[in-house]
Structure 1
Amino acid sequence: MSNEISHPEVLYKDSLPGGKHWSMRMRRGTSLRLIDKEGGANLGMLFYNPENLLERYNAPDTLKGQHTFKLTKGHCLYSDMGRIFCSITEDSLGWHDTVCGNSNRKIVDAKWGQKDYQKDRNDWLQNGNDAFLVEATKYGLGKRDLAANLNLFSCVAPDDEGNLTYQTNHSQAGDFVVLRFEMDTIVLLHTCPHPLNPATEYPFKPVEYQIFKSLEVGKDDLCKNACAENQRGFENNRLYYLGL
Structure 2
Amino acid sequence: MQATLTESTLDPALAAADMIHPAGEPWLMELKAGQVLRIVDLEGNQAVDTIFYSAADPSERYSLTRTIAAGGRLYLGAGSTLMSSAGRPMLTITADTCGRHDTLGGACASESNTVRYAIEKRFMHSCRDNYLLALGQDARGLDKRDVVSNINFFMNVPVTPEGRLTFEDGISAPGKYVEMRAEMDLLVLVSNCPQLNNPCNGYNPTAVRYLIWDPLPA
Q: What is the TM-score when the length of structure 1 is the normalising length?
A: 0.77
Change in Cα spacing, 1:34 to 1:161, as seen in structure 2 (3 Å) is same
Q: Deviations over 1:196-218 (max 9, x none)?
A: 8347985322110011124589x
Matched, 1:3 2:9: yes
In the other structure, the counterpart of 2:4 is none
Deviating more after overlay: 206-215 vs 141-150: 206-215
Deviation at 1:155, TM superposition (A): 1.4
Distance 2:155 2:170 in 1: 9
Residue 23 of structure 2 is aligned to residue 18 of structure 1: yes
Alignment of 1:189-200 (within 5 A): 189-193=190-194, 197-198=198-199
Residue 74 of structure 1, CA deviation: 0.2
> Aligned partners of 2:201 and 2:36: how far apart in 1?
35
Q: Which amino acid aligns with 1:171?
A: S
Which of structures 1 and 2 has the bigger CA Rg? 1
| Cα displacement (A) at 1:167 | 2.6
Name the residue aligned to 2:109: 104
SS at 2:166's partner residue? strand
* Cα distance in 2, alignment partners of residues 159 and 91 from structure 1: 25
Q: Which residue of 2 aligns with 1:39?
A: 44
Measured on the aligned residues, the alpha-carbon RMSD in Å equals: 2.6
Q: Which residue of 1 aligns with 2:156?
A: 155
Q: For residue 102 of structure 2, give the secondary structure of its aligned residue in structure 1.
A: coil
CA contact (8 A) 2:130 2:191 kept: yes
SS at 2:60 equivalent = strand
On the 8 A contact 2:67/2:82 being kept in 1, the answer is: yes
Does 2:84 align with 1:79? yes
The structure whose residues are more often helix, as a share, is: 1
Question: After TM superposition, what 4+ stretches of structure 1 lie above 3 angstroms from structure 2?
Answer: 106-116, 193-196, 198-202, 214-217
Structure 2 unaligned segments of length 5 or more: list them: 1-6
Residue of structure 2 in register with 1:181 after alignment: 182
Shift in CA distance, 169/202, structure 1 to aligned 2, threshold 3 Å: closer
Q: Percent identity at matched positions? A: 31
TM-score normalised by length of structure 2: 0.85
Decide which moves more: 51-60 or 158-167: 158-167
- What do the CA deviations read for 1:94-137 (whole angstroms, capped 9, x no partner)? 11001111100234464695597xxxxxxxx5201111112223
| Cα deviation 1:152-185 (Å, max 9, x = unaligned) | 0101112222222223042111110001111000
SS at match of 1:63: helix
Once the two structures are overlaid, the 10-residue window that deviates more, 45-54 or 197-206, is 197-206
1:143 deviates by: 1.0
> Are residues 54 and 20 of structure 1, via their aligned partners in 2, closer, same or farther at CA, if it must alter by over 3 Å?
same
Q: Contact between 1:103 and 1:127, CA under 8 Å: does it hold in 2?
A: yes
For the residues of structure 1 that align with 2:164 and 2:144, how far apart are their CA atoms?
A: 29
